[in-house]
């Protein structure tokens, strides 16, 4: 959130001292609400949340912002969380938040993401993905998460250990997407010194491309995506990844295609896609539904009128081939 504030605020914006920045006309679309923290038997949890919030705010100077003059109180933190009650819509400005995207990945020590997007008049204009287990360098993906975490603990802050997680972000219309280390204790690696531009892969030959899909079969039909992949000529094994890390993989060139085709009746939530869409598009990629239409974020908490599924590609050539394969195969599917 601090990084987003830096991208949004004037350079002299002071967090905390100008609490109006946080409270004026702020609304958030999110799954979570304040009820769990408001119960009498969760005092300890609330205290831990308030402590963590204030520790994060104290790091504001790392992002070119003034630190709060005083920490937020428990009531102020609860009030901020209570703003997660927006239902979105076609007009105005609101944040879209998924604090833990990929819960199973988080529980299993695998991939998960913290996803935040800013939507203006129904269109995502800013996207941020925090990926704690997604290493800065692609080469580290071949090592297990446990091994990377062990090496990360042994490495000094000044080493810039590439096996640590990353943050990826983009602003609509900039034509650029950026990545930086998640952990930045040494001044050498403080934003923006550590940020580097990322771009989608230039691979347009299906035989060389890698495609992503959800891990859980309940979230997407593996058999249908396998059929589409085969008909297009995708030969590599699918990269099955929890959470919006799939969008991060496309944006920084670790994969070329993401396909998701949910079962009938399943409704996609906007917080599962908004941040990733901005990032891929600004990194040079394409994201649409299976009919080639842009995803619609203007109709509340769900992607209404979604045509069959979601297809994200590193380039227009691959994207057109996938769309054609879906059209050719759809009538014989059971979705």
What pLDDT does residue 141 have? 59
| pLDDT tens digit sequence for 288-315 | 999 999 999 999 999 988 999 999 999 9
Please work out, in degrees rounded to the nearest 5, the angle formed at the alpha carbon of residue 280 by the alpha carbons of 318 and 240: 70
For residue 253, name the pLDDT band (cuts at 50, 70, 90). Answer: very high
Q: Is 101 annotated as a binding residue?
A: yes
> pLDDT averaged over the chain?
81
Q: What percent of the chain has pLDDT over 70?
A: 78
For residue 264, name the pLDDT band (cuts at 50, 70, 90). Answer: confident
The residue ranking higher by pLDDT, 192 or 20, is: 192
Q: Is 98 annotated as a binding residue?
A: yes
For residue 10, name the pLDDT band (cuts at 50, 70, 90). Answer: very low
Closest alpha carbon to 89 in 307, 303, 300: 300
What pLDDT does residue 18 have? 44
Contact indicator for 87, 298 with CB cutoff of 8 Å:
no
What pLDDT does residue 39 have? 77
Q: Is 272 annotated as a binding residue?
A: yes
Q: Is 76 annotated as a binding residue?
A: no
How many other C-beta atoms lie within 10 A of the C-beta of residue 89?
A: 17
> What are the backbone dihedrals phi and psi of residue 247, each rounded to the nearest 5 degrees, phi first?
-65, -40
Query: Does 1 have pLDDT greater than 70?
Result: no
pTM for the whole thing?
Answer: 0.81
Please work out, in degrees rounded to the nearest 5, the angle formed at the alpha carbon of residue 252 by the alpha carbons of 251 and 253: 95
Question: The tokens of 296 are what?
Answer: 């619609």
Query: Does 188 have pLDDT greater than 60?
Result: no
Sequential DSSP letters for 225-271: HHHHHHHHT--SPPEE-STTHHHHHHHTTS-SEEEE-PPTT---BGG
Question: The tokens of 242 are what?
Answer: 């929890």
The residue ranking higher by pLDDT, 145 or 98, is: 98
Q: What percent of the chain has pLDDT over 90?
A: 41
What pLDDT does residue 9 have? 42
Out of 34-38, 102-106, 161-165, 185-189, least confident range: 185-189
Query: Does 200 have pLDDT greater than 70?
Result: yes
Contact indicator for 267, 295 with CB cutoff of 8 Å:
no
| pLDDT tens digit sequence for 40-92 | 777 888 899 999 999 989 988 877 788 888 899 998 888 888 777 788 888 88
Q: Which one of 3.90.1010.10, 3.40.190.80, 3.40.50.2000, 3.30.420.40 gives the CATH number of domain 206-330?
A: 3.40.190.80
What pLDDT does residue 324 have? 93
What pLDDT does residue 5 have? 45
The residue ranking higher by pLDDT, 25 or 276, is: 276
* Domain residue spans of the chain: 1-86, 206-330
Question: How far apart are alpha carbons 37 and 51 in whole angstroms?
Answer: 14
Most confident residue range from 148-162, 198-212, 255-269: 198-212
């Amino acid at each position: 959130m601090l990084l987003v504030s830096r991208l949004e605020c004037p350079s002299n914006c002071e967090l905390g001292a100008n609490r109006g920045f946080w409270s004026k006309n702020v609304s958030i679309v999110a799954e979570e609400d304040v009820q769990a923290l408001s119960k009498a038997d969760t005092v300890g949890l609330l205290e831990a949340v308030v402590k963590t919030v204030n520790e994060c705010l104290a790091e504001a100077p790392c992002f070119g912002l003034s630190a709060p003059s005083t920490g937020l109180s428990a009531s102020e933190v609860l009030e901020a969380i209570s703003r997660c009650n927006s239902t979105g819509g076609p007009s105005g400005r609101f944040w879209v938040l998924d604090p833990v995207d990929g819960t199973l990945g988080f529980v299993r020590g695998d991939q998960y993401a913290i996803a935040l997007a800013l939507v203006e008049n129904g269109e995502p204009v800013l996207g941020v993905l925090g990926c704690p287990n997604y290493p800065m360098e692609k080469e580290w993906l071949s090592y297990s998460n446990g091994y990377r975490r062990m090496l990360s603990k042994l490495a000094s802050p000044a080493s810039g250990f590439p096996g640590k997680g990353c943050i990826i972000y983009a602003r609509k219309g900039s034509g650029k997407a950026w990545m930086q280390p998640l952990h930045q204790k040494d001044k050498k690696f403080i934003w923006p010194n550590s940020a580097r531009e990322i771009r989608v892969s230039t691979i347009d030959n299906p035989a060389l491309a890698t495609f992503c899909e959800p891990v859980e079969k309940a979230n997407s039909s593996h058999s249908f995506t396998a059929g589409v992949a085969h008909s297009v000529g995708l030969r590599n094994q699918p990269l099955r990844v929890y959470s919006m890390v799939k969008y991060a993989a496309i944006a920084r060139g670790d994969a070329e295609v993401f396909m998701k085709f949910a079962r009938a009746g399943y409704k996609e939530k906007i917080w599962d896609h908004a941040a990733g869409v901005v990032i891929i598009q600004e990194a040079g990629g394409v994201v649409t539904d299976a009919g080639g239409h842009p995803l619609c974020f203007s109709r509340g908490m769900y992607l209404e009128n979604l045509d069959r599924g979601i297809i994200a590609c590193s380039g227009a050539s691959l994207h057109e081939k996938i769309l054609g394969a879906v059209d050719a195969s759809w009538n014989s599917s059971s979705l």
